[in-house]
Structure 1
Amino acid sequence: MTGATATPQCSLRDLTIAPRQLAELRRLSRQVMRLLGVSRAAEAIVLQGLTELLSNVAKHVPVPRCSVQITHADGTVRVAVCDCSARPPEVTTPDWDSESGRGLWLLREMASDFGWEPTADGKRVWFTV
């Protein structure tokens, strides 16, 4: 194989997510973004989106274990979080008077693309910036 280059990526596997860990995971993800050469604007969206996806694992998945993959290719960052729940993410129109419930909507609005797919063990929720 001549001329083939690897896509820069970072993978974290078998994470057990608790809300108190989110700040540390954001710090690690910020370091990854800087190593990958991601713009500060994209970094901010990635950190916001990753925090939302991991928070949802902590809140909504009975066994809050997941894996995270961040890739950077051709100027696009892709973040994917896999968990063991088959329940699809619910993106709803926010109630602006509520204290919660707008995170996935905001992520969908900020990201270039957003989606999910079933996996053998649950689901993969992903977004690109």
Structure 2
Amino acid sequence: MTLTGQEARAQRLLFSWLLTARREDLAHFRRLAKLATREWAQPSDVTEVVLHGVTELLSNVARHVEDPRCTLELALIGRSVQVTVHDRSSALPKITLPGWTAEEGRGLWLLREMADDLGYALTESGKQVWVRVSGERPDA
């Protein structure tokens, strides 16, 4: 499967999907994200954080947003990959130090620790949450 058309020679810099966030569809969107990072020649450590970001951000929409219709975007910005989810809720995410014996509540905290940037902002129709991972590692 290829993410670009046969006549497209230039590398796509943005992939975007309108979807309904459901836990049973997470593997599908992880596969699409993996194909995008492969097309962008990202190292495996970047890909792993991107896949974790796709899983966590879409899971949070499925779990916490009344209307789970959203947009998932993957963008190549310079040498970084940004995962952004736009949803229809104005409730901002809470990132707190997790209880280590709790069954949930550590996903965004862990993602923030792994990524180069994690943020969120209100929009006219809800909010966007993003995670950015640099393809340029400090030890490279």
The alignment's TM-score, normalised by the length of structure 1, stands at 0.91
- The aligned amino acid for 2:36 is V
2:63 to 59, 73, 76: 59
C-alpha displacement of 1:65: 0.8
**Identity over the aligned pairs, expressed in percent?**
44
1:49 aligns with 2:82: no
Give the aligned partner of residue 92 of structure 2: 88
Instruction: Name the SS for the 1:124 alignment partner.
Output: strand
Runs (4+) of structure 1 exceeding 4 A deviation are: none
Give the aligned partner of residue 131 of structure 2: 127
C-alpha displacement of 1:73: 2.6
Please give the alpha-carbon distance, in whole angstroms, between the structure 1 residues aligned to 2:60 and 2:71.
Answer: 13
Give the aligned partner of residue 13 of structure 2: 8
Q: Deviations over 1:5-57 (max 9, x none)?
A: 987111112x0011111111111111111112111110000000110000000
The alignment's TM-score, normalised by the length of structure 2, stands at 0.84
Q: Which runs of 5+ in 1 are unaligned?
A: none
C-alpha displacement of 1:81: 0.4
Q: Which runs of 5+ in 2 are unaligned?
A: 1-9, 134-140
